[in-house]
Amino acid sequence: MIDKITVIGGYDKQGNKEPVEEVIIQKGEIFGVVGPTGSGKSSLIGDIEQLAQEDTFSKRKILINGGEPTYEDRTNPRKKMVAQLSQNMNFLADMEVGEFLTLHAKCRGAKNACVNKVIELANTLTGEPIKKEHELTILSGGQSRALMVADVAIISDSPIVLIDEIENAGIRKHDALKVLSGHGKIVMVVTHDPVLALMTDKRIVMKNGGMEKIVSTSTQEKLISERLNKIDELMLHLREKVRRGELVEDLNTDDLELRNNRK
**Would you tell me how many other CB atoms lie within 10 Å of the CB of residue 263?**
5
Q: Indicate the residue among 200, 217, 234 that finishes a domain.
A: 217
Q: Looking at residue 88, what is its pLDDT?
A: 66
Residues 139 and 161 in one domain: yes
191 contacts 30 by C-beta, under 8 angstroms: no
**Would you tell me how many other CB atoms lie within 10 Å of the CB of residue 9?**
18
Q: Looking at residue 258, what is its pLDDT?
A: 46
Q: Is the pLDDT of residue 212 over 90?
A: yes
**77-120 pLDDT tens trace:** 777 788 888 766 677 778 999 999 998 888 877 777 788 999 99
Residues 188 and 119 in one domain: yes
Helix runs in the chain, H state only: 41-50, 71-75, 97-108, 114-123, 141-154, 173-182, 194-197, 219-243
Share of the chain above pLDDT 90, in %: 40
Residues 146 and 232 in one domain: no
pTM over 0.75: yes
Q: Is the pLDDT of residue 255 over 60?
A: no
Residues 192 and 75 in one domain: yes
Angle subtended at Cα 257 by Cα 251 and Cα 261, rounded to the nearest 5 degrees? 150
Q: Indicate the residue among 217, 234, 250 that finishes a domain.
A: 217
> Which has more confidence, 76 or 88?
76
CATH number where 183 lies: 3.40.50.300
Q: Looking at residue 18, what is its pLDDT?
A: 97
Residues 36 and 165 in one domain: yes
Q: Looking at residue 180, what is its pLDDT?
A: 84
Q: Is the pLDDT of residue 20 over 80?
A: yes
Distance between CA atoms of 97 and 126, rounded to whole angstroms? 15
136 contacts 90 by C-beta, under 8 angstroms: no
Residues 204 and 90 in one domain: yes
Distance between CA atoms of 211 and 13, rounded to whole angstroms? 11
Residues 228 and 188 in one domain: no
Q: Is the pLDDT of residue 175 over 70?
A: yes
Q: Indicate the residue among 194, 217, 240 that finishes a domain.
A: 217
Residues 143 and 18 in one domain: yes
Residues 227 and 213 in one domain: no
23 contacts 204 by C-beta, under 8 angstroms: yes
Q: Looking at residue 53, what is its pLDDT?
A: 96
Residues 137 and 261 in one domain: no
Residue 228 domain boundaries: 219-263
Phi, psi of 177 (to 5 degrees): -65, -40
60 contacts 52 by C-beta, under 8 angstroms: yes
Q: Is the pLDDT of residue 21 over 50?
A: yes
Residues 189 and 236 in one domain: no
Residues 228 and 208 in one domain: no
**38-66 pLDDT tens trace:** 999 989 999 999 999 999 999 999 999 99
Distance between CA atoms of 46 and 10, rounded to whole angstroms? 14
Q: Looking at residue 260, what is its pLDDT?
A: 43
Contacts of 62 (CB under 8 A, 6+ apart): 5, 6, 7, 8, 47, 48, 50, 51, 52, 53, 69
What is the total count of domains within the chain? 2
